[in-house]
Structure 1
Amino acid sequence: MKSRAVKLSHSDYVEESVALLKNILIDNSYPEKIINRFLFHTAIVNNNNQRPTAQQLPNITNTPLEPNRVTEDQNGQLVSYFSLPYIDNLTYKLANVFRQHNNIKIANKQVKALSKLYSRTKTPLQIMENWNVVYRLQCRDCDLSYIGQTSRNLKGRITSHKSDCRRGVLSCALSEHVNNLDHRIDWDGAEILDRADSFCKRTFLEMVHINSQVNTMNKRSDTQSLSVIYGYILDLYSGKYGSLRQVATQGSQ
């Protein structure tokens, strides 16, 4: 217990820490004679503030310190500004050393920011609680997937898909795929592909992702509004040279 008090204390406060420890032990009914024997009949050694040897110090002589800013004064001379972390009883001494150099200015900065003092109190949203997203649903019985967009939360949109599939309402390619082929959808494996607050942006991103997917159950009409120019760029990006020739043929027509 004494060793812990010594190790956790600065060398200037070791004696005060030991005296405080004695008072705590006395308050807990320990015999004062035994306390004095263990606390004061042994040497107090604190190795916390030993200076490192030259071999333990890193070699920083060849590491240049880049200034934060360089400007010209009224005489046309370059002045370099450096920022140093503020350490009590140390930073101002370093600043005094550099004051004899007119072309060097020192400024202090805080090491601890407010963002480091507080933890992230906001709980991240679950995937089903996100809204304004472009999403993908995978079929369990084949390799086809469905890509859609919604401004609602994803859970509500998937609930609507489930209702259409259960009641046989052919509202989109997903419900048609389920009812015509009697396939099952991996509802819990929904994936968010993109986010956008604007309806036009979400629709465009939806068409982009449909166009970039090889195996999709979406209809061809879902991408009719996508310009041929965008299709050409997307083909170049993905390296689909076969479809690139088709786009070039359509563009020439």
Structure 2
Amino acid sequence: MLAEDYKQKMLSMLNDNKTYLPIPRDPTSRYQRTNNEFAKRLLNLNLIDKQTATRLTTYNAICPRIYGQPKAHKPNVPLRPVVPNMTAPAYNLSKFIGKIIQNSIDSPYNIKDSFTFCNFICSVTLPPDYILISLDVISLFTSIPKALVTHNIITQWEKIKVNTNINLDLFIEIAEFCIEASYFKYNEQHFQQVFGAAMGNPLSPIIADLVMGTLLDTVTQSLNFKPPFIKKYVDDLLLAIPESQIGHVLETFNSYNEHIQFTYEMENNKRLPFLDMTLIRQENQKIQTEWYMKPIASGRFLDYNSFHPLHQKINMAKNFIRRVDKLSTHLQDADKARIIHQQLSLNNYPKPLRNRLINRRQENIITLQESSDENLKYTYRSIPYIPYLSNRIDKHLKNEYKNIRLAHRNIKTVGQLLTKVKDPVPQEHQNNVIYKIPCKNCDACYVGMTTNMLKTRISGHRTYYNTWDKLLQQGYNATDPQISSLKEKTALMYHSITQNHRFDFHQTKIIDRHDKPHALPFIEVCHIANTENSINKRTDTEGLNTVYAGIIHTIRNINHNKTDKHKNQYATTT
């Protein structure tokens, strides 16, 4: 999709003033204040503990940025609006309320996974003249009225209150706030979502599940027949109905609420795609299945030549083989093998490996090894995948720390190759970052970290500078106690005062970031150790393990060699 087409589609979608309204200013501070007031109220009423209150309280919220996800399988490729809420003020509060509702929902319609559904549907025998039909809600999340959510919470309160001490009025007040606090920024303009729930809000899929469950309970009682079964996966429904009742079924579903409207898909030659299967109705009204891939799918997954650990590629292939094998009850083994060979070959898996995995597919079920020590609690961590080095670290930790479980992640992702469609967050508004400030008068630099917004941390550095300037204007010098105490505040101030240098705050650069604040101190130490001319105190790196110190030393030597090589090439060419 061309950038101009994407922009036009986004603007056209946001021009729907029944769902979105432009607002004159960023409401983040207001929502953050309300969110923190709720956390404080819950704590004061002894409904949550202090640790939970701290988790629900936020001080560094950032306005979310919307982007459109193309629906490539739909005509004209419409966009699905996604608003990532991780930085929004009410994100953790939405997760907190959502978890309470989720623990209270035990819908008989929900599908756990494809394998469970496959076992169920293959055990079904439909009545004579019944066919399969799938129903799909048109834009479910943005179609859910807030009043309907409130009504569902009230009607389901007997189940919900089992999982919380919060009273009904306060619970509804919090839930409504989490829905109302749906806002975002696009193309330098702030918008408020005035109807429906935002995709990207952790509460949205849960209230959608709640609403759909109540909808199905109500609608099934209004039908003039009793469906043998109704199964639901998010907003996709599967049910069996008499072929003559299609119009009645669609009308009944669409009459439940004017905003929640359904489209349907019938069998075609007794075949109907649903989830990642094709359902095939037999002459005896029993149902069999085949593994299914959408026509628009490229068939590409983890390529055998990709930059990933070998065991991840093998496990991916095993999982794919298992899906084709278990979800294709209508196919013979030879047909399953043909599909597997075709797809794995497309992703460059060698033929001997394909044959071996197919022949041993009954052994390919991945199971976790149970520890002999039942009291041993595992700690799960991920590390970047670097050939040889990551494997050695993994092996060392397994031998020395039995409770550590490592996963390797790729530091090069597909997302890095694609155009960024979200509005960028200005550097000064970013938090949980490692930053570097250069000195104006020498080659030195200062490496720091902050969990607050970068502009707040830089403002702190400027405050120390302002205090220093005032003391100098009053006639104090570097040896006086007033300036000496200021010198001990940070390594930046120590260098500035002892050398009479100034740092260039306008040239501040973010050199790393991490979503988990507790990881920042370690990352900062590594950057300090790997940064030449750093003026940070020696004590900042004393706690760095010798293993990491050796790795950083190696990386620094590699960087030196590259720099020297480039200098030599430049000297030769000039």
TM-score (norm 1): 0.49
For the pair shown, the structure with the greater C-alpha radius of gyration is: 1
